[in-house]
Structure 1
């Protein structure tokens, strides 16, 4: 049994439906992702890390992890063409890398994100976390952090 905190994201709801149908373990086995890790995300004990969003992007659209149930949203449709995970070549990351050093300071103040976090993402040392992507939603749609240019429809 699990206790869920409201609100749920649309992506979390899809995983919870699999839990309720008792199909989550076979779902994880088919996709070669850790069951325990995915179960913790489904039940809200952990936020979905980018690695899980990448591995499930052909089943759950990446934007669905960032919008809560009942919240209106528009998603950019795309077709998964590459199976590899390369966050440095996504649409949002390529655009983000075009910011100048001074622009990062302004972004840091405007979005209340630590400058060094932005800097490390900018130089490629870090991949943006779930919370960082959520803070960037005013600049980039969340799915652009998980989509390559050739996949956009």
Structure 2
């Protein structure tokens, strides 16, 4: 086997494991995938595009192609039915009327955005799908508008998330079991103000302030996006202080 890239996407990792177990050829035969193409995708000799991801969305979750294994996934990996592409996918259909806004938001020219969202002469790029994770689960690029799906990620205690229509960051202080049971979660607002608990050991900078708690309903129109995990000691401190403020 040729050299494995140092940095792999979740999808590549899955294919590499099949190669190492000498099961890739059989997997390809069983699923109607060209072995040479899957092998090149695994080693990064061929880069995934919309059509490749769409053709395999029933085998490998679309989001697994968009993020590397050293990055947290903002949504759960979710397989889909085979994508027939006979109608505009959910995300494209939803933004047909505001394609200019999306062009500005994601650094597209208006012509490119028009061709993707209105004329459908072009397909979404991997970069666009990854960037759009800030507002939508990427499975929406591979499902018809009428299809319903569980787009909800269940936050865990210690997750740093972006939530709400204002897009603020929060440190989750409630555990995943309760979050799933009550279909909600509570988090401390993270801000630049120095009155809270300073975040350390994270890429996210700022202070988690237990005085400013907010509870979010899961599955609302404003989706919650995972950014990264905070250290357990910091989270426990924030949760303890938050309890004191509540009581």
State the TM-score, normalized to the length of structure 2: 0.53
Alpha carbons 2:10, 2:67 under 8 Å: kept: yes
2:142 paired with 1:146: yes
Quote the residue 1:18 is aligned against.
Answer: 18
Unaligned runs of 5+ in 2: 151-247
Q: Would you tell me which structure has more strand in proportion to its own residues? A: 2
Q: Distance in 2 between matches of 1:91 and 1:129?
A: 16
**Which residue of 129, 132, 137 corresponds with 1:136?**
132
- Greater C-alpha radius of gyration: 2
* Displacement over 3 Å in runs of 4+: 76-80
Q: 1:79 to 1:39 in 2, by over 3 A?
A: closer
Of 126-135 and 57-66, more deviation after overlay is shown by: 126-135
- For each residue in 1:9-56, what CA deviation from the matched residue of structure 2 results, as whole angstroms up to 9, or x when unmatched? 111100111111111112111111221111111101122122222232
Alpha carbons 1:87, 1:146 under 8 Å: kept: no
State the TM-score, normalized to the length of structure 1: 0.80
TM-aligned CA deviation for residue 89 of structure 1: 3.2
Quote the residue 1:61 is aligned against.
Answer: 61
State the Cα RMSD in Å. 2.3
Q: Distance in 2 between matches of 1:109 and 1:39?
A: 37
Q: How many residues align?
A: 148
Quote the residue 2:185 is aligned against.
Answer: none
Quote the residue 1:51 is aligned against.
Answer: 51
Q: Distance in 1 between matches of 2:143 and 2:32?
A: 21
